[in-house]
């Protein structure tokens, strides 16, 4: 049976049309599935009983299984969600005083091999479906509502106010499914998030960035992590295909349609690798023609990473150089580290089709 969570509203309207139903049924069902979080057709009281019975025979609204839910000492939550019998993904909720941010995965593993990222070390298995992507928001909503004592949230209230496509995987490598899922997030009959409150983080897939600005321009974050091509080729290997000059030009093109007037550059601080005074000055020169802000991220260690976290005084000097050049700079507070939910730590369970993990273990054994 077809899982209706795979459809945005226009696609759902087309599906209903094939069943001989009116397009407005799509709006009704979107509200029940996403806005109210009701997945039992029998509870959809404004839909005729005959149609509810037909839907139960021909379709389903099915969430993946939650294998584990963990809560950090700082309130961060992580869900381990089964993608299939061999694979699982991770989703993280970060509560703050003025917002609640959900970090969503787009792939089982990641094929890009960024050297500082635990997910990349796991290898890659497959893309997530639209249903698997949007289900992460549904699962988190359900869990947080239950804890707050709500079956359905009162009108106007929202526990999850922001979504970031920054979990496992490179979102733009799963373009069609990610865009469809984000369209559901933005739909007023679903989650009703504004484009400013949905952020996509990419390592720099330039052609897909250009496509995204036309199809679904949301807030953009770019995983930069190095101020020159020689270093970024090592840390973020996709740079060999789309070097920094091309990436900066793509950022400027994206800003023509973006809901924010800046790009956020994410920069993981690696001790002695990319955190020197010289690197900071190179970074200022690199972005001088791009409207941007910086998010400096302390490296979160994982076994055999080969990297260390930048020293606090090095991070302060690095930050001050950027700020003196006129840039807004935030230093990300590490959240959820005690449950491996911090940036770069998401690993899940990946049956690696790339054989990357086995190859690395063999090389390390030599």
d(CA 129, CA 181): 9
d(CA 175, CA 83): 18
Give the count of beta carbons closer than 10 Å to the beta carbon of residue 272.
Answer: 11
Angle between helices 206-215 and 175-186 (to 10 degrees): 30
The CATH 3.20.20.70 portion of the chain extends over 66-365
| Catalytic residue positions, numbered | 90, 343
The CATH 1.10.150.530 portion of the chain extends over 2-60
- Cβ contacts of residue 269 below 8 Å, gap of 6+? 275, 296, 297, 298, 299, 309, 310, 314, 315, 318
Fold designation for 66-365: TIM Barrel (3.20.20)
Q: Would you write out the chain's pLDDT as a tens digit for each of its 366 residues?
A: 899 999 999 999 999 999 999 999 999 999 999 999 999 999 999 999 999 999 999 999 999 999 999 998 888 999 999 988 889 999 999 998 889 999 999 999 999 989 888 877 788 899 999 999 999 999 999 999 888 776 655 544 678 999 999 999 999 999 999 999 999 999 999 999 999 999 999 999 999 999 999 999 999 999 999 999 999 999 999 999 999 999 999 999 999 999 999 999 999 999 999 999 999 999 999 999 999 999 999 998 887 788 999 999 999 999 999 999 999 999 977 655 655 645 545 556 677 777 655 544 443 444
Element (H, E) at 100: strand 100-103
pTM of the model: 0.91
Fold designation for 2-60: DNA polymerase; domain 1 (1.10.150)
């Amino acid at each position: 049976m077809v899982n209706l969570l795979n459809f945005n509203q226009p696609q759902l309207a087309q599906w209903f049309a094939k069943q001989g139903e009116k397009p407005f049924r799509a709006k009704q069902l979107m509200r029940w599935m996403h806005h109210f979080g009701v997945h039992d057709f029998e509870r959809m009281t404004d839909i005729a009983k005959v149609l509810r019975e037909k839907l139960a025979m021909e379709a389903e609204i099915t969430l993946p299984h939650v294998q584990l839910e963990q809560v950090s000492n700082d309130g961060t939550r992580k869900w381990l969600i089964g993608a299939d019998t061999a694979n699982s993904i991770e989703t993280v909720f970060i509560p703050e005083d003025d917002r609640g941010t959900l970090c969503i995965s787009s792939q089982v593993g990641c094929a890009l091999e960024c050297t500082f990222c635990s997910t990349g070390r796991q290898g890659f298995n497959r893309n997530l479906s639209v249903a698997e992507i949007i289900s992460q928001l549904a699962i988190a909503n359900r869990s947080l509502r239950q804890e707050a004592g709500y079956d359905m949230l009162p009108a106007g209230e929202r526990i999850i106010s922001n979504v970031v496509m920054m979990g496992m995987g490179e979102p733009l490598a799963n373009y069609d499914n990610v865009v469809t899922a984000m369209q559901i997030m933005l739909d007023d009959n679903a989650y009703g998030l504004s484009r400013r409150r949905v952020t996509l983080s990419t390592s720099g897939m330039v052609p897909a960035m250009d496509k995204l600005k036309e199809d679904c321009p949301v807030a953009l974050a770019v995983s930069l992590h190095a101020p020159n091509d020689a270093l970024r080729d090592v840390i973020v290997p996709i740079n060999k295909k789309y070097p920094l000059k091309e990436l900066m030009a793509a950022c400027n093109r994206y800003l023509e349609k973006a809901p924010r007037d800046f790009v956020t550059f994410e920069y993981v601080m690696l001790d002695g690798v990319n955190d020197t005074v010289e690197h900071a000055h190179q970074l200022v020169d690199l972005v001088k023609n791009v409207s941007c802000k910086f998010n400096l991220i302390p490296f979160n260690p994982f076994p055999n990473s080969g990297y260390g976290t930048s020293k606090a005084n090095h991070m302060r000097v690095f930050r001050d150089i950027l700020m003196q050049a006129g840039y807004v700079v935030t230093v990300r507070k590490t959240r959820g580290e005690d449950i491996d939910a911090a940036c770069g730590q998401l690993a899940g369970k990946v049956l690696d089709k790339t054989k990357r993990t086995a190859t690395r273990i063999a090389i390390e054994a030599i």
